[in-house]
Structure 1
Amino acid sequence: MTTIKVTVWNEYRHEKTNPQVAEIYPEGIHGAIAGHLRTAGELDVSTATLDEPEHGLTDEVLDRTDVLIWWGHLAHGDVRDDIADKVRERVLQGMGLIVLHSGHGSKVFERLLGTRTGALKWRDDGERERLWVIEHGHPIVDGLGDYIDIPKEEMYGERFEIPAPDELVLISWFEGGEVFRSGCCYRRGKGKLFYFRPGHETFPVYHHPQVLQVIHNAVKWAAPTRGATVSYGRIASGSLNGGQ
């Protein structure tokens, strides 16, 4: 079995300034996710954070990353444009990307989807969320039942300003009646992208076994595949039929 190399990226700001978040995630949100993923033998997991040199996403790190997991919220604007562009390019080349919760407003997500992905409704009252599985045969929901219940979460509501997903795997319902497209799959270039909604920092969502199971499944789904070699630009006459 091929080992999948995963980098879990987190801006790591809430945990340093909010005691409630620090209590829930003493090793950071990235630490909680990485800690779970390390229990799977087929994954090689490392972490990176915003305040590291180059946000922890050097060329060396990105070149060895098969799947990048992204959590951001307070500091989308602090992410350097050149780093966001570099991540986008790596996805187009085949690196998988999993964007979590408020990462919908990140430069990386907006560059890949081409819309104002930060536009949605929200309410952080700690409502119950039920994530309904609507594609039961999809590998991202392998091992789940009809739904995932999260006792307390931040509400996100439609309209969510994203392009129609290539595959919509999960839809959320909240106590207030709102619904939201919470498990969205895209292909960009040779890369696969999954947006997964749960994960507000003041609730222990990344300790929820089924939420972590979805992230684990998504890593395996998003891992690079070989595919075809594609060329661009002007080509010589006859080159598409072997020059004959």
Structure 2
Amino acid sequence: MKLGGVFLSILLLASHAHAKDDKMVRVLLWSEQTEPRNVYPQGISGALYDHFKSVKGFEPKMAALSDPETGVSDAVLDQTDVVIWFGHQKHKDVPDAAVERIVRHVKEKGMGFIALHSSHFSKPLKALLNASGAWSSYVNFGQPEKVWVVLPQHPIAKGLEDFTIPKTEIYTEPFEVPEPEAVILEGTWETGHRNRECLVWTLGKGRLVYIRPGHEEYPIYFMPEMRRLVANATLWAAGRTHAPKNMTKRNAGPPATATGPYKKPETQ
């Protein structure tokens, strides 16, 4: 009887673990809703919501700065596996209490957090990383960027190959954040700059992903490659996928020939 009880316990534990893996990933898509409506009619959060609704295994919801408790009450976060955050013009309008809730849910409860593009200056990212989140310069010159998959073994890179974003805003290194545990993508421009484009950290019980591309004046989050990237990042941030211990960085793309602040040349 005792032996049978042990086997039953093992079966129940295995069943529970399998059920957890099969659960829908609950995604909260947050935006301050300052994105141009001619590019993103429902904001970047709306564009990604439509994508997640079409992909099996995700349960997306939307939230905004104007929502009660900034859309991130404890009750909401208790029902969230990953928050995907886009902020740009209203970082200072996010209450400190909302930031504290997010940090607590990430570090103590294992919630994932994904910061998109200009969210490098968001209060949650800066609080989670205890960093300024600043790049050396920001220039919206609308030129193409080549994105290179430099860590193809990481689950965030699954199904991705090198791709080009037709129009983008350039940020330039250095990026003032702690050393990430992995850099999955890097980007290059004709200016000679080369950046880290997708960085990840484990923070307490939770995970954080920063995805640099995504300037709101361009339809970057309608691109299939970017949508796959965000979906893969969501699975990793939710703890549904795990990176192998020994990964080899892929040498791809030209080396940097320029660094530091970049200024757009004046037209003659």
CA displacement 1:13-40 (0-9 Å, x = unmatched): 23xxxxxx21111111110011111111
CA displacement 1:60-96 (0-9 Å, x = unmatched): 1110000110100100000000101110111102001
Residue 197 of structure 2 is aligned to residue 182 of structure 1:
yes
1:135 paired residue number? 151
Residue 35 of structure 2 is aligned to residue 8 of structure 1:
no
Q: Percent identity?
A: 39
Cα distance in 1 for residues equivalent to 2:117 and 2:163:
16
Q: How does 1:222-237 map to 2 (within 5 A)?
A: 222-224=237-239
Cα distance in 2 for residues equivalent to 1:195 and 1:153:
17
Residue 170 of structure 2 is aligned to residue 155 of structure 1:
yes
Kindly name which structure, 1 or 2, has the bigger radius of gyration based on alpha carbons. 2
1:236 paired residue number? none
Cα distance in 2 for residues equivalent to 1:107 and 1:178:
27
Is there any run of 5+ residues in structure 1 with no aligned partner, and where? 15-20, 226-244
The partner residue of 2:38 within 12, 18, 23 is 23
Is there any run of 5+ residues in structure 2 with no aligned partner, and where? 1-21, 241-268
1:219 paired residue number? 234
Alpha-carbon offset, residue 125 of structure 1: 0.8
Residue 178 of structure 2 is aligned to residue 169 of structure 1:
no
Alpha-carbon offset, residue 204 of structure 1: 0.5
Q: Is the 8 A contact 2:198 2:209 kept in 1?
A: yes
The runs of at least 4 consecutive aligned structure 1 residues that moved more than 2 Å come to: none
The partner residue of 2:73 within 58, 66, 91 is 58
Residue 100 of structure 2 is aligned to residue 88 of structure 1:
no
Cα distance in 1 for residues equivalent to 2:52 and 2:141:
29
Residue 197 of structure 2 is aligned to residue 193 of structure 1:
no
2:59 paired residue number? 44
Q: How does 1:107-146 map to 2 (within 5 A)?
A: 107-145=123-161
Q: Is the 8 A contact 2:149 2:184 kept in 1?
A: yes
Q: Is the 8 A contact 1:153 1:198 kept in 2?
A: yes
SS in 2 for 1:24: coil
Q: Is the 8 A contact 1:121 1:159 kept in 2?
A: no
Q: How does 1:64-79 map to 2 (within 5 A)?
A: 64-79=79-94
Over aligned residue pairs, what C-alpha RMSD do you find? 1.0
Cα distance in 2 for residues equivalent to 1:81 and 1:119:
23
1:206 paired residue number? 221
SS in 1 for 2:100: helix
Alpha-carbon offset, residue 143 of structure 1: 0.4
Cα distance in 2 for residues equivalent to 1:131 and 1:119:
18
SS in 1 for 2:184: strand
2:265 paired residue number? none
1:228 paired residue number? none
Cα distance in 2 for residues equivalent to 1:205 and 1:150:
7
Q: What is the TM-score of this pair, normalised by structure 1?
A: 0.87
Q: Is the 8 A contact 1:12 1:28 kept in 2?
A: yes
Cα distance in 2 for residues equivalent to 1:10 and 1:106:
11
Cα distance in 2 for residues equivalent to 1:6 and 1:107:
20
Alpha-carbon offset, residue 118 of structure 1: 2.5
Residue 122 of structure 2 is aligned to residue 106 of structure 1:
yes
Cα distance in 2 for residues equivalent to 1:101 and 1:4:
22
Alpha-carbon offset, residue 183 of structure 1: 0.6
